[in-house]
Amino acid sequence: MEPKKIYLSVIVPAYNEEKRIPKTLTEINSYLQKQPYESEIIVVSDGSSDRTVDVVRSFSSQIKNLEMIAMPQRQGKGFGVRQGMLKAKGEYRIFTDADNSTPIQEVEKFWPEFKNGYEVVIGSRDMKGSDIAVPQPFFRVFLGNGFNLLVQVILGLYGIWDTQCGFKGFSAKAAEEIFSISVIKHFGFDPEILAIAKKRGYKIKEVPIRWINDAESKVKMSHTIKMFMEVLATRKNMWMGKYDKK
All structural domains of the chain: 1-100 (3.90.550.10), 101-246 (no CATH)
Provide the pLDDT confidence category of residue 68 given band limits of 50, 70 and 90: very high
Alpha-helical segments (H) within 40-102? 52-57, 77-87
Residue type, 157: L
- pLDDT tens digits, residue range 78-124? 999 999 999 999 999 999 999 999 999 999 999 999 999 999 999 99
d(CA 55, CA 69): 13
Radius of gyration of the chain (CA): 17
Residues found in the chain:
246
pLDDT at 81: 98
Distance in Å from the first CA to the final CA of the chain: 39
Alpha-helical segments (H) within the chain? 21-32, 52-57, 77-87, 111-115, 138-155, 172-179, 189-199, 221-239
- pLDDT tens digits, residue range 223-232? 778 999 999 9
- Give Cα 131 distance to the centre of its chain: 19
CB distance 131 to 165 below 8 Å: no
Alpha-helical segments (H) within 88-158? 111-115, 138-155
pLDDT at 139: 44
Nearest of 117, 158, 147, 106 to residue 231 by alpha carbon: 147
- pLDDT tens digits, residue range 143-184? 556 778 889 999 999 989 899 999 999 999 999 999 999 999
